Amino acid sequence: MASFDEFERLFGRAPQAATRLAHLGRRPDEQHGFVNAPVYRGSTVLFPSLEALLAYDQDYTYGRRGTPTTRRLQEAVCALEGGAATYIVPSGYAAITSAMLAFAASGGHVLVTDSVYHPARRFCDRTLARFGVDITYYDPLIGGGIGGLIRPNTRLILTETPGSLTFEMQDIDAIAAAARAHDVFVMTDNTWATPLYFRPLRHGADISIQAGTKYITGHADTLLGFITVNERAAPAMKTLHETLGLCVAPEDCFMALRGLRTLQVRLERHWASGLRVAEWLRGRAEVAQVLHPALPGAPGYDLWRRDFAGASGLFSIVLQPYPQSALAAMLNGLTLFGMGYSWGGYESLIIPFEAQAMRSATHFAAQGPALRLHIGLEDVDDLIADLAAGFDRLNAKAKAG
Ligand SMILES: *Cc1c(COP(=O)(O)O)cnc(C)c1O
């Protein structure tokens, strides 16, 4: 691996993020000089002797427990998040559910942000509840007030900043300080910012999860999740990960390593183009609200500026009241924006959503239809032209009735 320590010794500072992304998790010296980590396909690992087999203490013991490909990826993500260990799971959703399983316990209590990635709410209500875990949803804007919701049996707080679909920023420092006072674990879904733009563990969280499916792989072709933990959370997560038998195909890990190499350049473009489109949308009469925490004056902007180093290309808007038929005319005629779930690839996406149906602790007041946009790597003026024509269709259809 490139020696960042040697770099630091020579130049008196750590290498920048772009440099780290180009070198993390690479060991050409161990792979005949080839630049990238090879894909190790394998279940059985041979031991050289009976003594070694019985001692079970070599680097690799069984494919499920890790291969050189998975280890390189773990190393890289762990360094980016600044954690003690990183675990790889088959999807971002599996990162949430398996980490919750590691820290929740029967008879215990879990606090979950009302703005949580919606499938996680289903997991809590249908599966965790069945195992006798009590769940309370809380207002994402609660900050240090979370202390008032912590009970003697509270084990875990699941935060997400900004929140899925509605983009509320959470004060992780304040929540973590309250949690620490009661010995409660804090987990943050860090998918939106990626570890390049926010590092939850530095802000007091114990567990940072990431849907690698989104920006890390970045090409809408791979599903993968990461759980990065600090020292305090590592033992419970290690046990759960091993005992559930979670493992990921080496090709998918290879794709994630490849995605990491270009993460910074892609994110800079997603961020800049996303803000351009958000600013343009704010000036449109059809738009009642822009929910983009990196847009000056938008909800959450101050926290975003305090804690985050950048923004991704995902945000939402709320339109003025329009009938469904007008919305359909707008969306069905778009030439560049695709309609589909997930995000974080190179392509632009747009979906409508009903936030109020997905919450129980807070009310999301929307004047009209709400849309989530992912701004991809296309030319931003082309994207704006596509949306402008969409608004023309929206208005024409609304007028025609
Ligand atoms: C997409 C997403 C997930 C789930 O990731 P998958 O890999 O699709 O399972 C989790 N959290 C957030 C915030 C997401 O947007």
Q: What is the pLDDT of residues 265-285, one digit of tens each?
A: 999 999 999 999 999 999 999
SS (H, E, C) 64-92: HHCCHHHHHHHHHHHHHHCCCEEEEECCH
Whether 386 sits among the annotated catalytic residues: the reply is no
- Which residues sit opposite 85 in a β-bridge? 229
Cα(163) to centroid(ligand 1), Å: 12
pLDDT at 1: 57
Whether 64 sits among the annotated catalytic residues: the reply is yes
Probe target for ligand 1 pocket from 93, 188, 372, with the most ligand atoms within 8 Å of CB: 93
Average pLDDT over residues 172-196: 98
Average pLDDT over residues 59-79: 96
* Closest atom of ligand 1 to CA, residue 342: 1
Confidence of residue 151 (pLDDT cuts 50, 70, 90): very high
pLDDT at 387: 98
Contacts of 242 by beta carbon, 8 Å cutoff, 6+ apart: 65
Ligand 1 site, residue 189, Cβ cutoff 6 A: yes
Tell me the per-residue pLDDT of 13-32, one tens digit each, with 9 for 90 and over.
999 999 999 999 999 999 99
Q: Which two tokens stand for residue 221?
A: 């072709």
Q: Cα-flanking dihedrals φ and ψ of residue 257, to 5°?
A: -60, -40
Contacts of 177 by beta carbon, 8 Å cutoff, 6+ apart: 144, 204
Cα(93) to centroid(ligand 1), Å: 5
Please give the Cα distance from 181 to 397 (Å, whole number). Answer: 56
pLDDT greater than 90 at residue 225: yes
Please give the Cα distance from 240 to 131 (Å, whole number). Answer: 16
pLDDT at 401: 79
CB 153 within 8 A of CB 146: no
| Average pLDDT over the chain, rounded to an integer | 97
Confidence of residue 380 (pLDDT cuts 50, 70, 90): very high
CB 225 within 8 A of CB 209: yes
Probe target for ligand 1 pocket from 88, 116, 117, 161, with the most ligand atoms within 8 Å of CB: 117
Average pLDDT over residues 128-153: 98
Candidates 134, 139, 189, 252; catalytic one:
189
Q: Cα-flanking dihedrals φ and ψ of residue 171, to 5°?
A: -85, 90
Average pLDDT over residues 138-167: 98
What percent of the chain clears pLDDT 90, i.e. is strictly above it?
A: 98
3-state class (DSSP) for residue 45: coil
Cα(23) to centroid(ligand 1), Å: 26
Confidence of residue 3 (pLDDT cuts 50, 70, 90): confident
Ligand 1 site, residue 164, Cβ cutoff 6 A: yes
pLDDT at 337: 98
pLDDT greater than 60 at residue 91: yes
Please give the Cα distance from 124 to 155 (Å, whole number). Answer: 14
Q: Whose CA is nearest to atom 3 of ligand 1?
A: 92
Average pLDDT over residues 39-47: 96
* Closest atom of ligand 1 to CA, residue 191: 13
pLDDT at 311: 98
Average pLDDT over residues 114-121: 97
Ligand 1 site, residue 191, Cβ cutoff 6 A: yes
Candidates 214, 261, 372, 397; catalytic one:
214
Ligand 1 site, residue 227, Cβ cutoff 6 A: no
Average pLDDT over residues 304-326: 98
Q: What residue type is 118 in one-letter code?
A: H
Q: Whose CA is nearest to atom 8 of ligand 1?
A: 92
pLDDT greater than 80 at residue 2: no
SS (H, E, C) 115-136: CCCHHHHHHHHHHHHHHCCEEE
